[in-house]
Amino acid sequence: MAAAKLPCRVLDVIFGCLDLPDLANCALVCKHWCQYLSDDNSDVWRLQCVRKVADEALKSDILCNVTSYKAKAMAFCHAWNPQDCSRNIYIKPNGFTLHRNPVAQSTDGVRGKIGFNSGRHAWEVWWDGPLGTVAVVGIATKHAPMQCHGYVALLGSDDQSWGWNLVDNHLLHNGDSQGNFPQCNNAPKYQVGERIRVILDMDDNTLSFERGYEFLGVAFRGLPSVKLFPAVSAVYGNTEVCMVYLGPPLDG
């Protein structure tokens, strides 16, 4: 195969003109291309990172848990979707932080850019401002609403979303409380700035959470085999929420 004989300098030029989905397809062409793209800190991934990720994000600690150029570029491609959020939310220039405008009597949400219907995926979410009366982290289908009147637990308010309210430690789905989480006595309350790791296992159809690298348990089982997106909903004016996609979770 001619593709397998192309020198690295030629591959640099070719791959440098492609976007991430195209690079994923290129890795399937032949063993040579797959091995070349497997170096997560190669010039190809460095260029992707520089092109896509804002300097503000690269210079801050937002991406402290994704160290390679490829991981940073992938995190950006999975970040909050500025085209799929409440009108009262905008995504800051760093690409990873949402800002909720101070609008009274409104609950506002956002989805990530990419949803999942297979595989295992992990991402981090944290509030960089006050939680208010309701602050929910979880997942949603494409059909779940991202804005409603009043201050409510929007995520988990119907059968299209599943959420954990960090204010009262309740799990929510289909408009009902699914019990306390984590399931222990006197569970500590969420602290602003604390990173919550969300683990979606579409092979086992479960949603789990970690806090400070402590596995808190499986929150939801029996998830539908449809595309599910990272999501949050918030009520506090001027609060900010960050999300960074990590890739497949590390077992153990």
Instruction: Quick: pLDDT tens for 173-199.
Output: 999 999 999 987 778 889 999 999 999
Tell me if 242 sits within 8 A of 128, measured CB to CB: yes
| Mean pLDDT of all residues in 37-65 | 91
pLDDT band (50, 70, 90) for residue 9: confident
Question: Average pLDDT, whole number, for the chain?
Answer: 92
pLDDT band (50, 70, 90) for residue 213: confident
* Residue 164, burial from CB neighbour count under 10 angstroms (0-12, 13-18, 19+): buried
pLDDT at 136: 98
Separation between Cα atoms, residue 207 and residue 201, nearest integer Å: 6
Model's pTM, two decimal places? 0.91
Q: Name the percent of the chain lying above pLDDT 90.
A: 75
List every span in the chain annotated with CATH 2.60.120.920.
80-247
Residues 14-49 pLDDT 10s = 787 777 778 778 878 888 778 878 889 988 889 889
Q: Which residues pair with 162 in a beta bridge?
A: 139, 173
1 or 54, which is more confident: 54
CATH 2.60.120.920 for the 80-247 domain, yes or no: yes
pLDDT band (50, 70, 90) for residue 3: low
Answer whether residue 4 shows pLDDT above 80: no
Separation between Cα atoms, residue 109 and residue 97, nearest integer Å: 13
pLDDT at 187: 80
pLDDT at 190: 93
pLDDT at 183: 84
pLDDT at 6: 73
* Residue 89, burial from CB neighbour count under 10 angstroms (0-12, 13-18, 19+): buried
Distance of CA 43 to the CA centre of its chain: 25
Residues 120-177 pLDDT 10s = 999 999 999 999 999 999 999 999 999 999 999 999 999 999 999 999 999 999 999 9
| Mean pLDDT of all residues in 239-245 | 98
Answer whether residue 227 shows pLDDT above 60: yes
pLDDT at 2: 67
pLDDT at 18: 76
pLDDT band (50, 70, 90) for residue 212: confident
